[in-house]
Amino acid sequence: LQKVHSQPSLWIQLSEWYAQSLNDQQYPYQSTHDAQRAQALQLPKVQTELDWLQQSVIPTDPPPRVVFCHNDVLAANILYSTTSNDETPQIQLIDFEYGGCNFASFDIANHWNEYAGGPPHDPHPRYDWFPTPAQQHTFVQHYLHQASVELMQSKQQQQPSLSPDESSSTNEMQPPTTIIPSLPTVDDLLLEIQGFVMVNHFYWGLWAVNQAKNEGCHEFDYMTYAIKRLEQYWVCKQNHGILARNSQT
């Protein structure tokens, strides 16, 4: 399974959704009003932004960690339950429709963007609900701690079991060592996630454009949602520029 699904799907999916969003002949809007609103998105310019994100914002050395991702961790897809006051709460994710091999940082960025809300209830996300810098830092600290624990456990499980004689002989030759795959620091992972926050706005913005074409905007205003997501992209890009300038001074 790892050999077949070892490459992240993000950029391929974005390319496919972007091509579909531009193809008005094969995928027309269902109303003139939606087609007019789509012009405000300036979709032909999106490719330049995607190229900039992939080539200049998302790190390549080392590249972001690739794992199996949910890709749609919004509140409605999280089950939180307890059976008694003394038991540790259980969290379970559901609805893996968009799940697949992807960047771990993208999955976290998507989850943070979902704090703002959106489909299927409100096409106007509230980005003042986005996690604060302190909340982001705490989240990443806990994430990296748990990831290191699980990587250590995985490494121990992969070590072959030895007979008592073999174990004694091995211990006499050299002390056992456990090599854990490297994880980013808190600051490095935060920087990665901030880049993927911008990518995520295009991910669901382009998705919403195509939903408007396929389903129309009668039951849910996908075009408004697409406009709001791309507007927030430009806000994030401006903030990214400020952060980059500050880091150089």
Residue 174 has pLDDT above 80, yes or no: no
Q: For residue 125, what are the contacts with CB-CB under 8 A and spacing of at least 6?
A: 113, 116, 117, 118, 225, 228, 229, 232
Task: Please tell me the predicted confidence (pLDDT) of residue 214.
Answer: 97
Position with higher pLDDT, 194 vs 174:
194
Task: Please tell me the predicted confidence (pLDDT) of residue 38.
Answer: 96
Task: Please tell me the predicted confidence (pLDDT) of residue 180.
Answer: 46
What is the pLDDT of the chain when averaged over all its residues?
A: 87
Residue 153 has pLDDT above 90, yes or no: no
Q: For residue 40, what are the contacts with CB-CB under 8 A and spacing of at least 6?
A: 227
Residue 188 has pLDDT above 70, yes or no: yes
Q: Is the dihedral of CA 148, 153, 158, 160 positive or negative?
A: positive
DSSP classification of residue 87: S
Task: Please tell me the predicted confidence (pLDDT) of residue 136.
Answer: 97
Task: Please tell me the predicted confidence (pLDDT) of residue 73.
Answer: 95
Q: How confident is the model at residue 1 (pLDDT cuts 50, 70, 90)?
A: very low
Position with higher pLDDT, 150 vs 211:
211
Q: How confident is the model at residue 177 (pLDDT cuts 50, 70, 90)?
A: very low
pLDDT in tens, 19-61: 999 999 999 999 999 999 999 899 999 999 999 999 999 998 8
pLDDT in tens, 72-83: 999 999 998 877
Task: Please tell me the predicted confidence (pLDDT) of residue 160.
Answer: 63
Task: Please tell me the predicted confidence (pLDDT) of residue 144.
Answer: 95
pLDDT in tens, 230-248: 999 999 999 987 666 555 5
Output the six-digit token pair for 216.
Answer: 């129309």
| Closest by Cα among 51, 41, 228, 12 to 122 | 228
Alpha-helical runs (H) found in the chain: 10-22, 32-39, 46-52, 104-114, 133-158, 164-173, 186-215, 222-248
pLDDT in tens, 91-137: 899 999 999 999 999 999 999 999 999 988 899 999 999 999 999 99
Task: Please tell me the predicted confidence (pLDDT) of residue 161.
Answer: 57
Output the six-digit token pair for 70.
Answer: 């949910």
